[in-house]
């Protein structure tokens, strides 16, 4: 029998055997990003900044690049604007803050302070989430991680002996210095970092 003349019951049966239409997709609910309160550095310079129209904001000095000033409020909001809109006293204060920031060097004391600041921030975040920091690694584990990250291989036995605290005088270059000056380091960085930034 031609399909055009099929009985009414046959059409109903055929329709019943057709696959059910897919249900319309329900969009996933939008999840708001979790707000993390900023942890200001210990040496943060907080100041009530006023513009030449009398408006004010309590914020931390971040940077002064040419005439442009960058501030961060206590709520984490960042302000980047032409500092010329500030009152004369705050323009001078911004210049003093910039001079103070530039006076720091990468000496041993500066590095120690920076390391302590990183530890403080990481510790604060871990404490907020009820977590404990990992125990300190051994010298041997640290040396292996340093070589794998910098060169892409573990240190040889001779390199391990040279880097031993008992075998190395205090005036000798550290493992981080010697491993980063090897030719393999430059090759590793030139091939590894582009993939990280991609």
**Which residue, chain included where needed, has tokens 């971040």?**
62
pLDDT value for 38 = 59
Please give the average per-residue pLDDT across 78-102, as a whole number: 88
Q: Are 27 and 42 in contact (CB under 8 A)?
A: no
Mention every residue, 6+ apart, whose C-beta is less than 8 A from residue 40: 46, 60, 72, 74
pLDDT digits (tens, 9 = 90+) for 107-125: 667 778 778 888 888 888 9
pLDDT digits (tens, 9 = 90+) for 140-192: 898 999 899 998 999 998 888 887 766 544 444 455 455 555 555 444 444 44
Q: Which of residues 174 and 129 earns the better pLDDT score?
A: 129
pLDDT value for 153 = 92
pTM above 0.85, yes or no: no
* Class of the CATH-defined domain 46-102: mainly beta
- Residue 154 has which token pair? 């573990």
pLDDT value for 46 = 87
Write down the domain spans for the chain.
Answer: 46-102, 139-192
pLDDT digits (tens, 9 = 90+) for 10-42: 555 555 566 555 555 555 555 454 444 556 666
DSSP codes joined into one string, 90-146: HHHHHHHHHHHHHT---SHHHHHHHHHHHHHHHHHHHHHTT--PPPPPPHHHHHHHH
Confidence band (pLDDT; 50, 70, 90) for 134?
confident
pLDDT digits (tens, 9 = 90+) for 54-73: 899 999 888 888 889 999 88
């Amino acid at each position: 029998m031609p399909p055009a003349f099929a009985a009414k019951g046959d059409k109903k049966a055929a329709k019943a055997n057709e696959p059910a239409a897919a249900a319309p997709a329900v969009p996933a609910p939008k999840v708001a990003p979790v707000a993390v309160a900023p942890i200001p550095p210990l040496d943060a310079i907080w100041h009530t900044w006023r513009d030449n129209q009398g408006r004010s904001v309590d914020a931390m000095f971040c940077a002064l690049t040419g005439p442009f000033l960058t501030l961060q409020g206590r709520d984490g909001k960042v302000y980047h604007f032409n500092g010329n809109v500030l009152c004369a006293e705050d323009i001078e204060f911004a210049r003093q803050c910039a001079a103070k920031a530039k006076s720091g060097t990468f000496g041993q004391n500066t590095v120690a302070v920076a390391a302590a600041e990183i530890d403080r921030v990481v510790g604060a975040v871990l404490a907020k989430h009820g977590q404990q920091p990992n125990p300190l690694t051994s010298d041997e584990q640290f040396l292996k991680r340093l070589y794998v990250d910098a060169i892409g291989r573990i240190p040889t036995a001779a390199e391990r002996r040279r880097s031993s605290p008992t075998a190395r005088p205090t005036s000798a270059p550290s493992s981080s210095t010697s491993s980063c000056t090897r030719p393999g380091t430059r090759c590793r960085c030139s091939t590894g970092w582009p993939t990280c930034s991609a």
